Amino acid sequence: MRLGEVLDVIERLLTACGHPEIETVHRYGTDQVAGGPSPAGVRVRCTSGAEAYLWGAIWSGENVLPTPAVLPWPARPDRIAVLVCLLLDAARPAGLSGWQLVALDGLGPSDARGKAPRGVRIVAADGTSLLLRATAAGAPMPEPADDPYPGWKIPETLSVS
């Protein structure tokens, strides 16, 4: 499975999930494999103006993390990585055989380098393994102190079709 196909699945899930924080979901870049000159990914613009990205990456040193049941706040890279894992758990796309939330060596808050969720390792049904790295850009205004949508639930009918 090519990077673009995996990103199509992620884009559809993020668009279909109906999270009130998500304003728009947009694909960017043209690379079909990670590490090329036009990194391909998915950008999520939040209602606060913050943006979160998942893009095809090559990184040495991953640490598998359990997926928490609650979305982290306010760290956008952590939040998008966890949200995507929860959406994949709920939808179980046919073209993918597995996914794991990962911390990436050297990334994360200074007190938790290599321990914060900063990516998603995806294994396709054909055995292809891809890393999506999570990054973010801040909101033009300060974020609220607490998650504004703590009661949001993934729709039971979520699918990628």
Tens of pLDDT, residue by residue over 82-112, are: 999 999 999 999 999 999 999 999 999 899 8
Residue 161 pLDDT greater than 80, yes or no = no
Residue 143: per-residue pLDDT:
83
Residue 156 in domain = no
Residue 59 in domain = yes
Residue 154 in domain = no
**Residue pair 15/25 in contact by the 8 Å Cβ criterion:** yes
Integer Cα distance of 5 and 26 in angstroms? 14
Residue 143 in domain = no
Q: How many domains does the chain have?
A: 1
Question: Which residues lie closer than 8 Å to 97 by C-beta, 6 or more apart?
Answer: 123, 124, 125, 127
Residue 124 in domain = yes
**Within a 13 Å sphere around the CA of 111, how many CA atoms are in the beta-carbon half?**
0
**Within a 13 Å sphere around the CA of 64, how many CA atoms are in the beta-carbon half?**
6
Residue 10 in domain = yes
Residue 119 pLDDT greater than 70, yes or no = yes
Q: Look-up: residue for tokens 């205004």?
A: 141
